[in-house]
Amino acid sequence: DAGVIQSPRHEVTEMGQEVTLRCKPISGHNSLFWYRQTMMRGLELLIYFNNNVPIDDSGMPEDRFSAKMPNASFSTLKIQPSEPRDSAVYFCASGTSGSYNEQFFGPGTRLTVL
Amino acid sequence: GEDVEQSLFLSVREGDSSVINCTYTDSSSTYLYWYKQEPGAGLQLLTYIFSNMDMKQDQRLTVLLNKKDKHLSLRIADTQTGDSAIYFCAEMGGGQGFSFIFGKGTRLLVKP
């Protein structure tokens, strides 16, 4: 298995532009998580899906952020318009409820908003 | 509110033991976790402990859980330079599904 796949790995954009981050979870996993990591705030859960349905989006910073999961093998996190304070590493993770509920993380997308 | 606290930095010499500490808030957490993040990579599960256990040992790793004080620790014996990474403590959050609450991570630096 290739693990969780995220694209792009790096994104540099200008303030005001739309940014779309993509994630392909591990096949067979029914939960998907989007996290943001910064030095100041550490690792923050933005939103998670169970069986493609958003369960908790209370971590989404504001209306500029949106996430979709149209099917079990694909999810997007969109920021529109982007701002410099959105610069961070964004991780996608997937998992399945089981004995100890391990989450498998992707390599992350490093976003820089100028 | 829910919060997981960790010290931010630890430096040890190669061959020494490392102890990383964590306090959590949700006494109903079924599992508690330690994740490792190497530079430029995502987090990877290192070990976990079930809440009805006091200790779990896995090769060089020992996890101690004190439920009364809501304190979790990770001990790495014979620490190697390859153990240099950020270590995250996590507990399962409340609500539906199984979202995790992560600490800010402890950066472990192992000096040769």
Residues 6+ apart with CB under 8 A from B43: A43, A91, A93, A103, A105, B35, B36, B37, B88
Q: B87 to chain A, minimum CA–CA distance in Å? A: 12
- The least confident of A15-19, A20-24, A95-99 is A95-99
Confidence band for A108, pLDDT divided at 50, 70 and 90:
very high
For residues A10, A83, B39 and B22, what is the CA-based torsion angle, rounded to 10 degrees? -150
pLDDT of residue B93: 64
Q: What is the mean pLDDT of residues A60-80?
A: 95
**C-alpha–C-alpha distance, residues B94 and B98, integer Å:** 8
B95 has pLDDT over 60:
no
pLDDT of B97 strictly over 80: no
Cross-chain residue pair B40–A33, CB shorter than 8 Å = no
Q: Which residue of A has its CA nearest to B50?
A: A100
pLDDT: which is higher, A59 or B63: B63
A27 to chain B, minimum CA–CA distance in Å? 18
Residues in chain B with CB shorter than 8 Å from the CB of A5 are none
Band of residue B52 on the pLDDT scale cut at 50, 70, 90: confident
Mean pLDDT of chain A: 93
Q: What is the pLDDT of residues A42-62, one digit of tens each?
A: 899 999 999 999 988 988 988
- Closest chain A C-alpha to B16 CA, distance in angstroms: 27
Confidence band of B98 (pLDDT split at 50, 70, 90):
low
Q: Is B27:B70 a contact under the CB 8 Å cutoff?
A: yes
| Confidence band of A64 (pLDDT split at 50, 70, 90) | very high
Cis peptide before A25 (omega within 30 of 0): no
Mutate to test the interface with B, among A92, A100, A109 (most CBs of B within 10 A): A100
Regarding predicted confidence, which is higher, A71 or A61?
A71
Average pLDDT, chain B: 90
Determine, for residues A107 and B45 on separate chains, whether the beta-carbon distance falls below 8 Å: no
Please give the pLDDT value at position B110: 97
CB contact under 8 A, B98 and A101: yes
Instruction: Give the minimum alpha-carbon distance from A48 to chain B in angstroms, rounded to a whole number.
Output: 7
Instruction: Tell which wins on pLDDT, B52 or A83.
Output: A83
